[in-house]
Amino acid sequence: MTGEIVIVGAGLCGARAAFALRERGFSGHVTLVGEEVHLPYERPPLSKPSTAGPPVPQLVAARQAYDDAGIELLTGHCVTRIDRAAKRLVLSDAGSLGYDRLLLATGARPRRLPNLTASRLLLTLRTHGDAERIAARLVPGRRLVVIGGGFIGLELSAMARQAGAEVTVVEGQARLLARAVPAEIAALVEARHRQAGTRILLDAGVAAIDETEDEITVSLVDGTHVTGDVAVLGIGAVPNTELAEAAGLWLENGIAVDEYLTSSDPDIFAAGDCCSFPLALYGNKRIRLESWRSAQDQGSLVAANLLGARSPVGHVPWFWSDQFDLTLQIAGLADTATRAVRRELGDNAVILFHLEESGRLVAASAIGPGNTVARDVRLAEMLIAARAYPDPLALASPDIRLKSLLAA
Measured between alpha carbons, how far is 121 from 75 in angstroms, rounded to an integer? 28
Coarse DSSP helix, strand, coil percentages of the chain, rounded to the nearest 5 percent = 25, 30, 45
Can you tell me which of 19, 292, 324, 353 binds ligand FAD, judged by CB under 6 A?
A: 292
Q: Is 267 helix (H, G, I), strand (E, B) or coil?
A: coil
Span from 20-28, 43-51, 52-60, 184-192 in contact with ligand FAD (CB under 6 A): 43-51
Q: Which residues contact 370 (CB under 8 A, 6 or more apart)?
A: 325, 327
What is the radius of gyration, based on Cα positions, of the chain? 22
Can you tell me which of 276, 321, 329, 372 binds ligand FAD, judged by CB under 6 A?
A: 321
If binding is defined by CB under 6 A, does position 384 make contact with ligand FAD? Answer: no
Minimum gap (Å) between residue 300 Cβ and ligand FAD: 12
If binding is defined by CB under 6 A, does position 239 make contact with ligand FAD? Answer: no
Can you tell me which of 31, 106, 263, 372 binds ligand FAD, judged by CB under 6 A?
A: 106
- Output 15 or 351, the one with its CB closest to ligand FAD: 15
- Output 88 or 126, the one with its CB closest to ligand FAD: 126
Q: What is the largest CA-CA distance in the chain?
A: 65
- Output 83 or 210, the one with its CB closest to ligand FAD: 83
Number of residues that bind ligand FAD (CB under 6 A): 36
Can you tell me which of 69, 78, 202, 394 binds ligand FAD, judged by CB under 6 A?
A: 78
Specify whether the CB–CB gap between 89 and 99 falls below 8 A.
yes
Measured between alpha carbons, how far is 40 from 13 in angstroms, rounded to an integer? 9
Minimum gap (Å) between residue 246 Cβ and ligand FAD: 10
Q: Among residues 80, 107, 85, which one has the least CA distance to residue 96?
A: 80
If binding is defined by CB under 6 A, does position 82 make contact with ligand FAD? Answer: no
Residue 189: CB atoms within 10 A of its CB come to: 23
Can you tell me which of 18, 177, 230, 295 binds ligand FAD, judged by CB under 6 A?
A: 295
Specify whether the CB–CB gap between 159 and 138 falls below 8 A.
yes
Q: Which residues contact 258 (CB under 8 A, 6 or more apart)?
A: 277, 278
Per-residue binding letters, 19-38, with ligand FAD (x by CB under 6 A): --------------xxxx--
If binding is defined by CB under 6 A, does position 12 make contact with ligand FAD? Answer: yes
If binding is defined by CB under 6 A, does position 148 make contact with ligand FAD? Answer: no
Chain centroid offset of residue 261 CA: 18
Q: Among residues 356, 365, 294, which one has the least CA distance to residue 332?
A: 365
Which residues of the shown chain bind ligand FAD in the complex (CB under 6 A)?
8-14, 33-36, 43-44, 46-47, 78-79, 105-108, 125-126, 152, 240, 243, 272-273, 290-293, 295, 319-321
